[in-house]
Chains A and B, each alone.
Chain A
Amino acid sequence: MNKEDIELLKEVTETLTDQSEVYNIRKNGESIKRKSSDYINIVPKEDKSGLDIYVKENTLFGIVHIPVIITESGLTDVVYNDFHIGKNANVIIFAGCGIHNEEEKTSVHDGIHRFYLDENSKVKYVEKHLGCGKGSGKRVLNPTTEIYMKKASSMTMDSTQIKGVDDTIRITKGVLEESTTLEISEKILTTENQTAKTIFDVELNGENSSVHVTSRSVAEGSSYQEFASNITGNNKCYAHIECDAIIKEEGKVKAIPEIYAKNVDANLIHEAAIGKIAGDQLKKLMTLGLNEKEAEEVIIKGFLK
Chain B
Amino acid sequence: MLELKNISFKRDNKTILNNINLTLEDNKFYCITGPNGSGKSTLAKIIMGLVTPDSGSIIYNNQDITNLSVNERAKLGFGFAFQTPVTFKGLTVYDLLKIATGREINKKEACNILSKVGLCAKEYVDRELNNSLSGGELKRIEIASVIAKHPNLSLFDEPEAGIDLWSFKYLMEIFKEMNGTKLGTTIVISHQERILSIADAIILLESGMIKEIGNKDTMMNTILTNDCPKGGSNE
Assuming the A-B contacts A281-B86, A281-B88, A304-B90, are A298 and B70 also in contact, with contact meaning beta carbons closer than 8 angstroms in the complex?
Answer: no
Are A298 and B99 closer than 8 Å at their CB atoms?
yes
> Chain A: interface secondary structure?
helix
Q: Using a Cβ–Cβ cut-off of 8 Å, how many residues does chain B contribute to the interface with A?
A: 24
The 3 closest A-B pairs by CB, nearest first: A302-B90, A302-B91, A286-B70
Q: Does any Cβ of A come within 8 Å of B80's Cβ?
A: yes
CB-based nearest A residue for B149: A288
**Residue B69 is within 8 A (CB to CB) of chain A in the complex:** yes
Interface centre among A286, A291, A298 (most CB of B within 10 A): A286
A-B contact pairs, 23 of them (CB 8 A): A216-B89, A216-B90, A278-B86, A280-B86, A281-B88, A283-B70, A283-B86, A286-B69, A287-B50, A287-B80, A287-B82, A288-B100, A288-B149, A289-B75, A289-B149, A290-B71, A291-B69, A295-B71, A298-B95, A298-B99, A302-B88, A303-B89, A304-B90
A34 proximal to B (CB < 8 A): no
Residues of B within 8 A of A281 (CB): 86, 88
Instruction: Name which of B70, B95, B99 has the most chain A CB atoms within 10 A of its CB.
Output: B70
Residues 55-111 of B contacting A (Cβ, < 8 Å): 69-71, 74-75, 78-80, 82, 86, 88-92, 95-96, 99-100, 102
Residues from chain B with Cβ under 8 Å of A220 in the complex: none
B67 to A: closest C-beta gap in Å: 15
Q: Which residues on the B side are within 8 Å of A301 (C-beta)?
A: 90
A299 within 8 Å of B (CB atoms): yes
A290 and B91 CA atoms in complex are apart in Å by: 15
Residues of chain B touching chain A, judged by Cβ–Cβ distance below 8 Å, are 48, 50, 69-71, 74-75, 78-80, 82, 86, 88-92, 95-96, 99-100, 102, 145, 149
Q: Which residues of B contact A280 (CB under 8 A)?
A: 82, 86
Task: Find chain B residues with CB under 8 A from A291 CB.
Answer: 69, 71
Contact-residue bracket for chain A: 20 to 34
A163 CB within 8 Å of chain B: no
Query: Chain A's nearest CB lies how many Å from the CB of B152?
Result: 13
CB distance from A279 to the nearest CB of B (A): 10
Query: B70 — which chain A residues lie within 8 A by C-beta?
Result: 283, 286-287
**Which of B74, B91, B92, B95 is A287 in contact with, Cβ under 8 Å?**
B74
Interface mask (A212-233 → B, CB under 8 Å = 1, otherwise 0): 0000100000000000000000
Pair B89/A287 contact, Cβ less than 8 Å:
no
Cβ proximity bits A256-285 to B, threshold 8 Å, 1 near / 0 not: 000000000000000000000010110111
- A134 in the interface, Cβ–Cβ < 8 Å? no
Asked if B90 and A289 sit within 8 Å, CB to CB, the answer is no
Contacts of B90 in A (CB 8 A): 216, 299, 301-305
A287 to B70, CA, bound (A): 6
